[in-house]
């Protein structure tokens, strides 16, 4: 496999997955965003599902991965992203 660089770890289940399957959250100078394009810079964290988001929220892994507190409205947006699965 030569596309290993495209694999990222989900901060919920901590499995390595292709980044197409993960939702990226990023922390930039302008704040925290749900990075659907995967192109925003900054520090990123990846999540694969709604249940992993819950795990990450409970264990404060998002805050730790992004090195900042993630506001509730961003968490809401994230939950919405996984709602249609």
Q: What residues make contact with Zn ion under the rule CB under 5 A?
A: 10, 12-13, 48, 52
SS3 state at 1: coil
In whole angstroms, the minimum distance from the beta carbon of 3 to Zn ion comes to 19
Q: In angstroms, rounded to a whole number, what is the distance separating the alpha carbons of residues 28 and 3?
A: 26
In whole angstroms, the minimum distance from the beta carbon of 12 to Zn ion comes to 4
Nearest to 26 by CA among 11, 49, 5, 46: 46
Query: Nearer to Zn ion by C-beta: 31 or 82?
Result: 82
Query: Nearer to Zn ion by C-beta: 21 or 80?
Result: 21
**Which residues are within 8 A (CB) of 67 and not within 5 positions of it... i.e. 6 or more apart?**
27, 43
Tell me how far the alpha carbon of residue 19 is from its chain's centroid: 10
In whole angstroms, the minimum distance from the beta carbon of 47 to Zn ion comes to 6
Query: Nearer to Zn ion by C-beta: 25 or 48?
Result: 48
């Amino acid at each position: 496999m030569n596309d290993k660089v495209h694999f990222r770890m989900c901060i919920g289940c901590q499995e390595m997955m292709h980044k197409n399957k993960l939702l990226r959250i990023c922390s930039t100078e302008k704040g925290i965003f749900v990075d659907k394009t995967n192109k925003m810079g900054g520090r990123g964290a990846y999540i694969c599902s709604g249940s992993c988001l819950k795990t990450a929220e409970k264990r404060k892994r998002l805050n730790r991965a992004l090195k900042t507190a993630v506001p509730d409205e961003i968490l809401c947006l994230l939950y919405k992203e996984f709602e249609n699965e």
